[in-house]
Each structure stands twice: as C-alpha cells, then as structure tokens.
Amino acid sequence: MGAMSDSPSPLADPHLVFDAAEGRRDLVILGSTGSIGTQAIDLVLRNPGRFRVTALSAAGGRVRLLAEQARQLRVRTVAVADGDKVPALREALREVYGAGEPLPEILAGPDAATDLAASDCHTVLNGITGSIGLAPTLAALRAGRTLALANKESLIVGGPLVKALAAPGQIIPVDSEHAALFQALAAGKRADVRKLVVTASGGPFRGRTRSELDDVTREQALAHPTWAMGPVITVNSATLVNKGLEVIEAHLLYDIPFDRIEVVVHPQSFVHSMVEFTDGSTLAQATPPDMRGPIAIGLGWPERVPDAAPAFDWTTASSWEFFPLDTEAFPSVGLARHVGTLGGTAPAVFNAANEECVDAFLAGRLPFNGIMDTVTSVVAEHGTPATGTSLTVADVLEAETWARSRARELSAEATAEAHA
C-alpha cells in the first residue's frame, strides 16, 4: 500500500487496492454486446477460476448475442435499456437455454444498467458507450464496488460528481492509454511525476493538413489503421477528439495539471502511454494493440491475468515512431484542454456536441472539418459554466440537451449553406 500525499488522492491509484478480494471475483458487465464487453467475456471464459459474471446489460440491439452470453456465463440477471426488446430477448433466451433450464431475471428500461451497477458483486465493468454511462458509474461507486471504467464519457461529463463519490483506488481505468499510465505510475512516487505522455495513433489522416481534410469521406474516417472500434469512437480517433477526452480523463484520474499532460503521435500503437519522472526517466507501457490487456488490468488488479493478451515477438524487427501533434489540423486536443480547465458543465457540452456532429458526419450532413468547427462554436456559445461542488446530474443533463440541440441547429445551417 503506497503512502498518500497531502494533495487530493487520485481516483486511479495503482498503489492503493480498493476492496481487494481473494479467490474468484464476481463481476457485472455493462455493455456486454459491445467491443469492450465481448472481449471481457472472452477473458472471463478463459479464466473461469478467477472471475464469475453475475449480470449483463446491453442496449438491446443484439438480443441473440446477449442471450448466448447469458447462457455461457450462467448469469443471474440480464438487462436491456430498450424495454421494447424484452419479448425478443425472452424468446432468444428460451432458444439458447435447454428445455427446463431456468431463465435469468430480465430487467429493462433506461435505469436497468444503473440497477445492475449497484447489485451484489466485487467489480463493475462499465463498457457502455456515451454519457448515458454516468448514472451506472455513480451507482457503482455509491454501492462501494470497484469500478473498471471503460466509459470515459461518464468521467468527462460528471467529473466533480465522480470525484465526490470515488474512494482513492476505487476506479481502475480500462482505456488502453489510462491503463498504461496506471501501470507506469506504479513504478514511482506520485511526487516524482513530472509529466504524463498520452500517445495517439494519429488515426487514418495523420500527416494531412487541415485543407486536405475538407473532403474526406465517411469510409475513409472509419478505416482506422490499428484499432477495431465502433463508428463513433473511430471517428473520434480520426478527429483526435478521443485524445482530447483522454487528456481530460487523465487529469481527473491522476490529479495532474493540464500543462503537465502531453499528447504525442505514435502510429504503431505499441506504446500506449508514458510517465516522465523528475529524474529524467520515462517509463512506457507497451503491448501489441489488443484491448484484452487493459480489460484484464481493470478486472484483476493488483494481480495480473496470465496470457490475457498477446506479447511482442522480439525475434521480429519492428520500428516505433513518435511525432509531435499537429494542433492546426487537429484542434480538438486544445479545445478539450480549454473545456477541462473551465470545468463544470463545459466538458459535457463538448462531448454532447461532438456526438451529435459525429452522427451528422456519418449521415453525410456535415463535412469532416465541420465536426470540430461546430463543436467549437457550441462550446463558445456555452460560455464559462458554473464550477465547484454545486454541479448536479440535472445540470449535466440540461447542458447536454442544450448542446445537442444547438449542435443539430448549427449542423443544419451548415448543410443549408453548402447546398445554397
């Protein structure tokens, strides 16, 4: 157990083990049919003596997969956010379960994942995409569960709310970058940290100028060179909004000022992030691109899960490159630092406006550069938000609703002008 400093304890502290458990850990997986959820289940099935899943939640778009997961894992409860999917889910469960086998309990509705997050378990893996993951994050923390956090948006939009609830070490980050920082920070004292270095692949448009990004297509933006992710996250990687969100997340998780968090482009995605210490040493965490490694850290820390993900083949030559970030072509990181410094509801406005603009881009209603142009305008109109401990969930939801509406209006205006 590491010594605590006089400054606020980081939410994710590798020296502090929150509610460590011996033996098999009971898990709740939120977002089980998504990329993080399916890879987590693969990890669990390969380690039955280490983990047991008690409940699963999903949006409801892939009920057959959810039913198959429930059967494989023998969970007690399954949940879908879309209540209209319950009949289809029940039918799928009957098909995959054997005759006479009791079916798991079914929960449904927008609060179902939040209810599961507070249920009896050791660790909650929040793999939900988007700010709808905030309520489950708060519920898991309030219930005293260890939170393996892949849902970065809940921390971005609800930073003060999350920090008010989380005990030191209660959150284990699952993003590859923050899991890397988490591991590298374990090698030294917090007082000796000079800088956090967050790596970025650069996405599919690395090296292009802003003018060269004017006419990029949906298909080009979705062709990520190293990672297989959902469409929203993939576009966020193309605009580097994901890296801006990760800078805010690193600030909140580790209590490191924004001016000591740097972004560097690393196309191979082998080094997932680095920590620079005051003696000049830089520690990097490196693995081939595979999210099962960070997921295993989230589920198993302080123990490591053997063979969770592939290791490097050091008998094969490889080159690792690093480039400075082009802030003119990709202004998203600078804007994220700005809203992170403002605090309050500004990060929620940034995130919500971006989600709407990404949807508009994917639908062909907004050009690629229009994503960040529109988000910048929405953030500017929002102005300086109220900050401090007075922030509430209602404040966040109201700010998001306004930001989404304004982003849609500005996107529509841009479309109309383009076709005038």
- Contact, 275 vs 188, CB < 8 A? yes
Confirm whether residue 201 is marked as ligand binding.
Answer: yes
Confirm whether residue 261 is marked as ligand binding.
Answer: no
**The total number of residues written for the chain in this structure:** 420
Helices (H), 74-158: 86-96, 112-117, 134-142, 152-157
Q: What would you report as the CA-atom Rg of the chain, rounded to the nearest whole angstrom? A: 21
Residue 194 DSSP SS3: strand
> Distance between CA 392 and CA 242 in Å, rounded?
25
Q: Within 13 Å, how many C-alpha atoms sit on residue 81's CB side?
A: 17
Residue from 33, 41, 105, 42 nearest 64 by CA: 33
Taking residue 217's Cβ as centre, other Cβ atoms within 10 Å add up to 12
- Contact, 119 vs 27, CB < 8 A? no
- Contact, 191 vs 277, CB < 8 A? no
- Token couple for 377: 């305008």
Confirm whether residue 236 is marked as ligand binding.
Answer: no
> Distance between CA 52 and CA 41 in Å, rounded?
10
Confirm whether residue 42 is marked as ligand binding.
Answer: no
DSSP letters spanning 31-87: STTSHHHHHHHHHHHT-TTTEEEEEEEE-SS-HHHHHHHHHHHT-SEEEES-GGGHH
Tokens 């000022």 map to which residue? 257
- Pairing label, strands 146-149, 193-200: unpaired
Confirm whether residue 152 is marked as ligand binding.
Answer: yes
Q: Within 13 Å, how many C-alpha atoms sit on residue 24's CB side?
A: 11
Taking residue 198's Cβ as centre, other Cβ atoms within 10 Å add up to 25
Confirm whether residue 177 is marked as ligand binding.
Answer: yes
Torsion of CA 207, 212, 214, 217, to 10 degrees: -70
Confirm whether residue 154 is marked as ligand binding.
Answer: no
Confirm whether residue 59 is marked as ligand binding.
Answer: yes
- Contact, 112 vs 88, CB < 8 A? no
Confirm whether residue 95 is marked as ligand binding.
Answer: no
> Distance between CA 68 and CA 63 in Å, rounded?
9
Confirm whether residue 246 is marked as ligand binding.
Answer: yes
Q: Tell how far CA 81 is from the center of its chain.
A: 19
Confirm whether residue 175 is marked as ligand binding.
Answer: yes
Confirm whether residue 34 is marked as ligand binding.
Answer: yes
Confirm whether residue 243 is marked as ligand binding.
Answer: yes
Q: Mark the binding-site residues for Mn(2+), compressed into ranges.
A: 175, 177, 246
Q: Mark the binding-site residues for NADPH, compressed into ranges.
A: 33-36, 59, 151, 153, 230
Q: Mark the binding-site residues, compressed into ranges.
A: 33-36, 59, 151-153, 175-177, 201, 224, 230, 237, 242-243, 246
Q: Mark the binding-site residues for 1-deoxy-D-xylulose 5-phosphate, compressed into ranges.
A: 152, 176-177, 201, 224, 237, 242-243, 246
